[in-house]
Chains A and B, each alone.
Chain A
Amino acid sequence: MSDPILKVRDLKRDYVISGGMFGKTKLLHAVKGVSFDVERGSTLAVVGESGCGKSTLARMLTMIDPPTSGTIEIDGETIDITSHGITREMRQAVQIVFQNPYGSLNPRQKIGAVLEEPLLLNTSMSAAERRDAALAMLEKVGLPPEHYGRYPHMFSGGQRQRVAIARAIMLRPKLLVLDEPVSALDLSVQAQILNLLRDLQDEFDLTYVFISHDLSVVRYIADEVMVMYFGEAVEHGTRDQVFSDPQHDYTKTLFAATPRADVESIKKRLAAKSAA
């Protein structure tokens, strides 16, 4: 039954911080020994506040940054970008979607070119095949074909995030890292993107590593949840375990801080207010 697509063991990443011209350099431990597995076709949510190392983790999983120590195994193959053993196929297996859809698309590139570029670089498809693939992908993410020749500035934030997602799955990756994909979006657009991610996961058998600080989104999309705090994974379990019975103090603080939008808690707040 157990079929992990991603195995991470004791992963660490340090950054050297310059102390200026005369100061001493300092070592910042951004990720301090994290281990986890992700099952094929499931969603792992990584939760934590800014500075907890969740984006550093994403950079290591997507082979942008090398880990200081520890191993990453994707679909049975060990990834080590400091050696030269990384093949194109291995890089294609992992793709990433960034938080800010305004910053992650080239303003001078048409949407068609955005979607075709991964194919141009990694496959030997002809121009016509690439165009067909791009048009098919536009349809999959819910954009009409006439958007093929448009520029990013002509799109709203939600549409741009659809384009960014389409680009990421052009090469049919096995693992998709989503770094706060909905936190820059309006509530109703957020719902559309979350629905889209659900559909794509079913269709392409994708595995998600979903990085977020929004617990209500995590509760909706995750199978498993990992809570990070100052570079350490302080809690890891299935969604129901973590949400119904949080163990670590930090997880409890997070839950207590999340605004509650149910009628009961509003009544409680109003009662406390009129009593004061």
Chain B
Amino acid sequence: MALLEIRNLRVEFDTAAGPFRALDGVDYTVEGGEVLAIVGESGSGKSVAMLAVMGLLPDSATVSADLMAFEGIDLRAMPAAERRKVIGKDIAMIFQEPIASLNPCFTVGFQLDEVLKTHTSLSRKERKDRVIELLESVGIPDPARRVSAFPHQMSGGQCQRVMIAIATACAPKLLIADEPTTALDVTIQKQILDLLTDMQRDTGMGLIMITHDMGVVAETADRVVVQYKGKQMETADVLTLFENPSHPYTKALLSALPENATGDRLPTVADYEAMMQADVREVQP
């Protein structure tokens, strides 16, 4: 049984100009211990899909799906209180802007403690030790002192480490990372990616990496879903995708990488647009 299984997910937003379809019939399957990368440009619906899983979309969104199951149990059929027990504990998420996702008014120790208070039955003393242990596990130096630090006293990379500590506090079975390194420098990005993949390997959790960076995909993923304008273009394991991309959009994305430049100009997605339209016609006879 798959850890997370989603079939035919559609998300629509009510706008002044009528309903806008952000996601149009996408499928995801994540097995335990697997790293799935969802890659696409802004507007491809990659974040919306995972926010729908987490139940974090605003009221203006209408979510429909044939199936949206976590460990075989349909998330939509769960009562709200049940679902809150799963979200944050068994499924956790980290976001793009680490400094914005932490509350500036509370110490990082307090914010970590909140998660443990909500989802575990540990005593105050045990929680305190666990908080320090968690900070240590994500590589924060001098964790006993740093528990009383405020987010503004830490760098972006350290804040992202704290976010990872919060997300992994209850040993989630599935971690969703939404562009976890986009706001960070390359050297820090490398450290955070290593931390995430090490944790994933050690705990055997499922990991969903949402990213627009093909480099990040190449460094972390087992399987890749390529999305464009709310539709799924291609699903393949990482080696196949890079070695032998079958969809023109994937080819376009890969050739837009500056390191793949041949000659003077970079090919852009526009160069592949004609090919993509031809491709769509083939699919719909």
Contacts and interface: CB of A to CB of B under 8 A. Distances in A.
B85 interface: no
A50 B269 CA distance: 30
A219 B124 CA distance: 53
B217 A261 contact: yes
Contacts of B270: 188, 192
Given A194-B266, A220-B266, A49 B41 contact: no
B3 interface: no
Contacts of A216: 215, 257-259
A259 interface: yes
Given A190-B256, A270-B238, A261 B268 contact: no
Nearest to B213: A259
A184 B55 CA distance: 28
Contacts, number: 108
Given A188-B256, A191-B268, A261 B215 contact: yes
Contact of B185 (A50, A189, A195, A260): A50
B233 interface: no
Interface string B218-239: 1100000000000000000011
Contact of B218 (A157, A195, A254, A259): A259
Contacts of A259: 186, 189-190, 193, 213, 215-216, 218-219
B8 interface: no
Given A186-B41, A190-B256, A217-B258, A195 B239 contact: no
A191 B214 contact: no
B201 A276 contact: yes
B59 to A, nearest CB: 24
A1 interface: no
Contact of B186 (A214, A221, A262, A273): A214
Interface of B: 41-42, 156, 185-190, 193, 201, 212-219, 238-239, 242-243, 252-254, 256-261, 264-270
Interface of A: 49-50, 157, 186-192, 194-195, 198, 213-217, 219-221, 253-254, 256-263, 265-267, 269-270, 273, 276
